[in-house]
Amino acid sequence: MNRILVTGATGNVGSQVAAQLAAEGIGVRALTRRPQPAGALNGAEVATGDLARPESLEAALAEIDTVFLIWPFLTTEGAPAVLEAIGRQARRVVYLSSSGVREDADRQSDPINQLHADMEALIEGSGLEWAVLRSNTIASNTLGWAAQIRDTGVVRGPDIAPTAVVHERDVAAVAVRVLADPRQVAVKHILTGPEVVSRAEQVRAIGEAIGRPLRFEEVPVEVARERMLADGRPPALVEALLASAAKRSRSDLVTGTVEEITGKPARSFRIWADDHADAFR
């Protein structure tokens, strides 16, 4: 029986993956850095471990066949040791990557895409069986706007070129199908939402969901940097996000991968906004 370890199991995507696997009766173990009470993760077995300490993963990996890997760091330092630990017990990794990764590029356009490209290369060279999910921007990233929306009704930040933002439940649903199918090896799936949307359009959709007029206001990079640092985000993450915002070009890429793999069409951003309206009220 295929037993699956889900990393990032308390995050927006990982929690959905663990919950959906458990709901289908698939053996799933959720990796967390801190102990969780029984039943805290929607029926998934919970194991404590930290990707920053590969030696802590041994018990979590016991009797595991497949690992869903979300890499939470800004460098690949430590990744070889984690992949080695995985390889001692599991045979396959499904990695959550970025749709911005370009196969034909010697260097990627920004630090975040470069990180994902480097992780993909390490995984492909690890000796493990692998599958990669290259996701477009995940809609749940906009939850970071909640405080601004509640306080002012205005989202201020650097503008980012429009892309086909994807619902985290759709990313998770694809992940579940790929994780559960041992034939999904040496494949790279590109996941998008059904339509290209700008930041202003996303803010407008959230406003419609909560019944309140909202607007997006672009601000200079320096202003955005000051606010992000004041919010407590790590400086290295702030710089990576700002570099990504500055260098990302508009993408009109819309794929049918979500529907092809799950049998259901990808959810729109408006559906996402309706699903999460309470977070912005």
Please give the average per-residue pLDDT across 241-248, as a whole number. 73
For the stretch 170-223, pLDDT in tens is: 999 999 999 999 999 999 999 999 999 999 999 999 999 999 999 999 988 788
**Predicted confidence (pLDDT) at residue 25 exceeds the cutoff of 90:** yes
pLDDT at 262: 98
pLDDT grade, residue 55 (50/70/90)?
very high
DSSP string, 252-276: -----HHHHHHSSPPPPHHHHHHHT
For the stretch 174-185, pLDDT in tens is: 999 999 999 999
**Predicted confidence (pLDDT) at residue 159 exceeds the cutoff of 70:** yes
Beta bridge partners of 238: none
- Residue pair 60/80 in contact (Cβ under 8 Å)? The answer is no
Please give the average per-residue pLDDT across 98-106, as a whole number. 90
**Predicted confidence (pLDDT) at residue 106 exceeds the cutoff of 90:** no
Please give the average per-residue pLDDT across 19-31, as a whole number. 95
pLDDT at 216: 97
Please give the average per-residue pLDDT across 133-152, as a whole number. 95
The C-alpha atoms of residue 95 and residue 130 are separated, in whole angstroms, by 8
Please give the average per-residue pLDDT across 32-58, as a whole number. 87
Give the 3-state secondary structure percentages of the chain, helix then strand then coil, rounded to 5: 45, 15, 40
Question: In this structure, what is the dihedral angle of CA atoms 28, 176, 105, 197, given to the nearest 10 degrees?
Answer: -130
Choice among 7-21, 96-110, 167-181, 192-206 with the minimum mean pLDDT: 96-110
Q: What is the CA radius of gyration of the chain?
A: 19
The C-alpha atoms of residue 86 and residue 71 are separated, in whole angstroms, by 13
**Local structure of 91: helix, strand or coil:** coil
Task: Tell the burial category of 139 from Cβ atoms under 10 Å away from its Cβ (0-12, 13-18, 19+).
Answer: buried
pLDDT at 1: 58
pLDDT grade, residue 263 (50/70/90)?
very high
Q: How much is the pTM?
A: 0.93
Beta bridge partners of 215: 154
